[in-house]
Amino acid sequence: MSNLAQPLTQPRPYLMNAWYVAALSTEVDAQALFHRTLLDTPVLIYRKKGSGEPVAMLDRCPHRFLPLHMGDRDGDKVTCKYHGLQFDCDGACTHNPHGNQHIPAASTVPSFTLRERNGLIWIWMGDEAADESKLHDFGPLTEGPETGVGYTNIYVKCNYKLILDNVMDLSHIDHVHGEIITTRGKLSPLVPQVRAVGDAFAARWEWSQTPAMMIFAGFLPDPKAEARHFFDITYLMPGNIQLSVGATQDAGAPLDLEGTTGQYDLHTVTPETLTTTHYFFVTRRNHNVDDADFNKMKIEAMRNAFVDEDVPLAEAIQERMGVSADDFFAMKPVLMSNDVAAVRMRRTLETAIAQEQARTAASEKAAA
């Protein structure tokens, strides 16, 4: 289903047989011919009439290669703007208005498998059959009222691994972020505690600061007083980091989302190209969950913190690293104690990519 008849760029240096976020559910309305480049591949996404189920195909007509999103919808079919070839939502050509109206055998558009989960549209673009067992479940994002969860996305001009590095190494918050989420210098002296979680891994920080992180302080008994905090992040290939964070002034409370005023977040990245990234962020808090105005203000404030404080650094690093941003170790970086989780993330992902590429090469050789 998802095979590209003609790969657009070779080799594609990503983990291909995996799920990536293609869009927020809210980005693709009932009518739109939504389009976005993912993994160097232009993709058309739209929702079927009736069921609203999203479908995806290569955003390129097989005739003269016009983007299909420039065409028109007719029910669940798309008609190319240039010469009127028509395709169904599986990418099969259903009408050729020219000559004897014969439909050429090669006129199928490659399609991709989508799944909609947790308010996100996930896409599988690999050559192997889409593997449902690899689709991660971030269920807590969708448990609770809509006024307790915020979604956003940011287009960043850097390699996707630089965003993952940033979130895997939360010590940067001490140095980069302003009052809204500052950790007041408390994370840098800590060595994150890394542990295996199934075939993934997690990292954890625990600390106290005065006052608490501003996003939580107003919901604690004494907003100006010291509070114990935790961060717990789990890296799930290829581009997902589930981050939990919370604060408490109850000396006996466990440092988890049950025991603290906190939030369950997902940071997930999808490469557009090797030097540009679609960065999606979702946050579900466990307090003040029915306040729609606060919800709107909170997601905007967090987005602004990323856009104003993280993104300029990531884009400046991209400038300095160039194509090596994808191959960080080749630049022989200085490594410090704060790098432990980010280095493990890079090694985990790069090993998986190398294994996948070896598998692909072996099967191509066998087929030759």
Q: Applying CB under 5 A, which residues contact Fe ion?
A: 310
Binding mask 44-63 for ligand FES (x = CB under 6 A): -----------------x-x
Nearest to 212 by CA among 248, 250, 253, 176: 248
**Distance (Å) of CA 38 to CA 2, 8, 123, 161, 294:** 14, 12, 9, 15, 33
Q: Which is nearer to ligand FES, 60 or 172 (CB)?
A: 60
Find out whether 238 and 277 touch, Cβ atoms under 8 Å: no
Residue 299 is a binding residue for ligand FES (CB under 6 A): no
Selected range binding ligand FES among 82-90, 182-190, 330-338, 354-362, rule: CB under 6 A? 82-90
Which residues are within 8 A (CB) of 91 and not within 5 positions of it... i.e. 6 or more apart?
57, 58, 108, 109, 110, 111
- Cα–Cα distance measured from residue 236 to residue 136, given in angstroms and rounded to the nearest whole number: 8
Q: Any alpha helices (H) in the chain, and if so which ranges? A: 160-168, 172-176, 214-217, 292-305, 311-321, 340-367
Q: Which is nearer to ligand FES, 97 or 145 (CB)?
A: 97
Taking the mean position of all CA atoms in its chain, how far away is CA 119?
Answer: 12
Q: Which of 4, 24, 33, 66 binds ligand FES (CB under 6 A)?
A: 66
Q: Which is nearer to Fe ion, 59 or 310 (CB)?
A: 310
Q: Which of 85, 162, 341, 349 binds ligand FES (CB under 6 A)?
A: 85
Q: Which does 82 bind (CB under 5 to 8 A by kind): ligand FES, Fe ion, none?
A: ligand FES
Q: Which does 311 bind (CB under 5 to 8 A by kind): ligand FES, Fe ion, none?
A: none
Residue 207 is a binding residue for ligand FES (CB under 6 A): no
Q: Which does 310 bind (CB under 5 to 8 A by kind): ligand FES, Fe ion, none?
A: Fe ion
Smallest distance from ligand FES to CB 284, Å: 43
Q: Which does 175 bind (CB under 5 to 8 A by kind): ligand FES, Fe ion, none?
A: none
DSSP 8-class letter at 323: G
Q: Which does 63 bind (CB under 5 to 8 A by kind): ligand FES, Fe ion, none?
A: ligand FES
- Cα–Cα distance measured from residue 200 to residue 27, given in angstroms and rounded to the nearest whole number: 30
Q: Which does 359 bind (CB under 5 to 8 A by kind): Fe ion, ligand FES, none?
A: none
For the beta carbon of residue 124, count every other beta carbon within 10 angstroms.
24
For the beta carbon of residue 365, count every other beta carbon within 10 angstroms.
8
In the bound complex, which residue of the shown chain has the CB atom lying closest to Fe ion?
310
Q: Which is nearer to ligand FES, 95 or 287 (CB)?
A: 95
Nearest to 165 by CA among 339, 323, 330: 339
Q: Which of 73, 83, 175, 359 binds ligand FES (CB under 6 A)?
A: 83
Query: Applying CB under 6 A, which residues contact ligand FES?
Result: 61, 63-64, 66, 80, 82-85
